[in-house]
Structure 1
Amino acid sequence: MDKDIKVVIAADSFKGSASTIEVEEYIERGINKVSRSVTIVKVPVADGGEGTVDALVIGCKGTYRYVDVTAPQGNKIKAKFGIIHDNVAVLEMAEASGLALVDVEKDDIYKATTYGTGELIRSALDCGVKEIYIGIGGSATNDGGVGMAQALGVSFKDADGNEIPLGATGLGNIETIDVSEIDTRLKDVKITVLSDVTNPLCGEKGASYIYGPQKGASKEDVKKLEASLLHYGEAIQSQLGIDIIDKPGAGAAGGLGAGLMVFCDAESYSGIEKVLSILDIETHFRDADLVITGEGRIDAQSLYGKAPVGIARMAKKYNLPVIAIVGSSGDDLGPIYETGIDLILDIVNKPMQLAEAIANAEMLITNAGESAFRAFLLSRNAVKH
């Protein structure tokens, strides 16, 4: 009876407990507990943050590359990026400069550098790519992308003619910016930033004030970091003639957005919209009966570029029912439902601590997958009668 039913599963990761691939496998397992004759299409998705490389490499049948890069605190680590469509690279700055690579209570935010992200870009250029997509969520840095630029050949010198150190420490001492030695291959490559962040570089909604505290910055640190980024932005304005301080998205990833725009001529796009476009997910929606999406938490922030909302809006072009399976949800879900999600299912089925929910994510998501499909069958049968 269910053999003609097609379900598209397109869920983001549940951070800290399950990757997008695992989440979708668990949901599929739940559906199969009800019926094994359903056609299931799994499309791993991401919004420019964690899992973006995996989603695009798997979805586009690409390949991985592994390189040694400089981590935020200066140590060497192994990082990966993807190659899709033969000449397109997919990067995540978090692989090289991410918050997961530091201890926010012990490590120095002033030292945190995006140099490794620049090394990732350089490695992608070594592969001869003509286009680069870079997800910039989850950064540990507040250096304005200076480290990234230094890795690509840009020089930032102080009043004594010395190169400033890696990290945010020397931003306030920048006297000259020299782009004469920047990697010439950049001019032949289109770089697209995948981000849902529209914060400017400086100000109360800028990189330091909004994101500094979650990276370990105290109130006093935030003021110092803000002053340094302001000086950096003013130096760019006076020496390169680019007004970057108030540009939307410049404050993303501790100002890496600004660095990518200024030195790599990058353009910023909504991460989920671009990812869904690259994956051509609409082809799966045209003959589908149900879409199941999800993420770790759904709340008011999900309205601003998160995967479930982007997927729901696209699915509604085809009048498809959309169910979101989530780790937790906010208080007011009305605006979320208005985007096209028909049902939100929390995986937590009884009072439990976060650690317990994470430890039992596989079982909880599987059970939610079963509940989602049963709810769909119930509504389908109700329409028939």
Structure 2
Amino acid sequence: MLKLQFMRHGMKNICLVVDSFKGSASSIQIENYLETGIHKADRNFKVTKIPITDGGEGFTRILTDYLGGEMHKTEITGAYGRKQIAQWGIADSKAIIEVAEAAGLSQRQAGDDPQNATSYGLGKLILKIVKQEKPSEILIGLGGSATNDAGLGMAEAIGYQFNDENGFSVPALLKNFDQIKSIDNSKVDQDLKKIKFTGFADVVNPLLGENGATYVYGRQKGIEIDKMSKIDHQISRVAGIVVNASGHDHRNDVGSGAAGGLGFGILSFLNGQIVQSMPEMIKMLKIEETVSKNDIVVTGEGNLDAQSLDGKVSCQIAGIGKQLGVPVIGIVGNTNVEMSKLLDIGFSAVFTTTVGPKTLEQAVDSIELDAVTTAEQIFRVVGIGK
């Protein structure tokens, strides 16, 4: 049951920690819409906004802004060979980039072959930042990728060469994995060794097998079900070559299957580390501290489903609210999760933004108005009796 009694004591501090509504509004945008609705209900509500991401869309902007850095833009080759403008950030000695910008699923067009998708542009972006900014650390958001190349495209861009049985270089595309027999690292840029690389993953999957990158996430990238076994085998063989060449086996590391195996690539080719996005973001953004100072928390995401229960943004925030004794209201685009489960996690109530029957396209187009209206109505009720 929604706890309204706290408002009767004059408390009115509202904290927004809302993930993006993918395809319709970024975290920053959706929180702005909700703030507008809350203030339409009562201008006296004090709203604190903490834009958040689990490593996907918005990772660069959110962390760069929070750390007081500057945003930059660079033209790169995208996931399917087309020119793309990728945004990246620099804050003190940290550089911040995201796969969703460099090789994101949003770049996929009708007719694109997923076996041609490459992380090459990400590698080129890393090299440019290293040469231009000389950072001590590069943070990489791994959500929203279009690729399934185990990071070989990225590796090729930073100087690794993948050779066939005759010693000739082979482009590091998934469709060519059967031809790769050896690896030459003699041309890898040595400046990369001076930098700490940290990948932020929102999944724990290993690289291979039924719980790996191809079987779990390949379908959304266009990989047909009847080709998954062959592709997983191809990646397994090449990963074995990588392991033998490096002397380090990261195939089963937590998060090595993130971003189509880019987790494995960061571990193997950059000697980096993979962290779980939400615990790290909660710590970096000091979310627990901020939540504890507020009277009510609003969280949400575009689609609150069964996967959300495994540690996605909104459920993590609900758990924090429950732990700290702060009521949590969920505002989501859609949900099919039983309310009893959401109450157990820590939500006090959950509302959807969709007003009336709509197609997905109509819901996307009307997200600003619907979010404002939903927040206004909720907080008119919250304000009763204060």
Q: Distance in 2 between matches of 1:247 and 1:282?
A: 28
User: CA 1:3–1:114 in structure 2 vs 1: closer, same or farther (change >3 Å)?
Assistant: same
Q: 1:337 aligns with which of 330, 338, 343?
A: 343
Matched, 1:238 2:244: yes
Q: How far apart are 1:281 and its partner, in Å?
A: 2.5
The aligned residue for residue 56 of structure 2 is 49
Matched, 1:14 2:21: yes
Q: Distance in 2 between matches of 1:303 and 1:180?
A: 45
Q: How many residues align?
A: 378
Q: How far apart are 1:375 and its partner, in Å?
A: 4.2
The aligned residue for residue 273 of structure 2 is 267
Where 2:301 maps in the other structure, the secondary structure is strand
Contact 1:3 1:39 in 2 (8 A): no
Matched, 1:118 2:140: no
Q: How far apart are 1:188 and its partner, in Å?
A: 2.2
Identity of paired residues, percent? 37
Q: Distance in 1 between matches of 2:15 and 2:293?
A: 10
- Letter of the aligned partner of 2:377 in structure 1? S
Q: Deviations over 1:89-113 (max 9, x none)?
A: 111111111111111x401111111
Q: Distance in 2 between matches of 1:30 and 1:373?
A: 8
Q: Distance in 1 between matches of 2:87 and 2:318?
A: 30
- Letter of the aligned partner of 2:278 in structure 1? I
Q: How far apart are 1:303 and its partner, in Å?
A: 2.1
Contact 1:202 1:208 in 2 (8 A): yes
Matched, 1:83 2:83: no
- Letter of the aligned partner of 1:120 in structure 2? L
Matched, 1:26 2:33: yes
Q: Distance in 1 between matches of 2:344 and 2:187?
A: 51
Segment of structure 1 superposing worse, 268-277 or 135-144: 268-277
Structure 1: which 5+ runs fail to align?
A: none
Contact 1:300 1:333 in 2 (8 A): no
Q: Distance in 1 between matches of 2:251 and 2:273?
A: 16
Q: Deviations over 1:353-374 (max 9, x none)?
A: 2122111111111112123323
Q: Deviations over 1:253-276 (max 9, x none)?
A: 111111111111222222122122
The aligned residue for residue 232 of structure 2 is 226
Tell me the TM-score normalised to structure 1 length: 0.93
Tell me the TM-score normalised to structure 2 length: 0.92
Contact 1:72 1:97 in 2 (8 A): yes
Where 1:81 maps in the other structure, the secondary structure is strand
User: CA 1:240–1:11 in structure 2 vs 1: closer, same or farther (change >3 Å)?
Assistant: same
- Letter of the aligned partner of 1:67 in structure 2? T
The aligned residue for residue 5 of structure 2 is none
What are the equivalent positions in structure 2 for 1:63-78 lying under 5 Å apart?
Answer: 63-78=70-85
Where 1:117 maps in the other structure, the secondary structure is helix
- Letter of the aligned partner of 2:217 in structure 1? Y
Contact 2:93 2:136 in 1 (8 A): yes
What are the equivalent positions in structure 2 for 1:135-284 lying under 5 Å apart?
Answer: 135-284=141-290
Where 2:168 maps in the other structure, the secondary structure is coil
Q: How far apart are 1:173 and its partner, in Å?
A: 2.1
Q: Deviations over 1:4-58 (max 9, x none)?
A: 5211111111111111111111111111111112211111111111111122122
Q: Distance in 2 between matches of 1:227 and 1:287?
A: 51
Q: Distance in 2 between matches of 1:162 and 1:311?
A: 51
Contact 2:162 2:172 in 1 (8 A): no
Q: Distance in 1 between matches of 2:342 and 2:207?
A: 29
The aligned residue for residue 5 of structure 1 is 12
Structure 2: which 5+ runs fail to align?
A: 1-7
Q: Distance in 1 between matches of 2:294 and 2:172?
A: 50
Q: Deviations over 1:320-377 (max 9, x none)?
A: 1111100000232433332222111111232222122111111111112123323433
Where 2:172 maps in the other structure, the secondary structure is coil
Q: How far apart are 1:236 and its partner, in Å?
A: 1.9
Segment of structure 1 superposing worse, 289-298 or 212-221: 212-221
Q: How far apart are 1:304 and its partner, in Å?
A: 2.4
Q: Distance in 1 between matches of 2:309 and 2:189?
A: 38
Q: 1:62 aligns with which of 64, 69, 75?
A: 69
The aligned residue for residue 298 of structure 2 is 292
Q: Distance in 2 between matches of 1:181 and 1:2?
A: 67
Where 1:200 maps in the other structure, the secondary structure is coil
Q: How far apart are 1:283 and its partner, in Å?
A: 3.5
- Letter of the aligned partner of 1:319 in structure 2? G
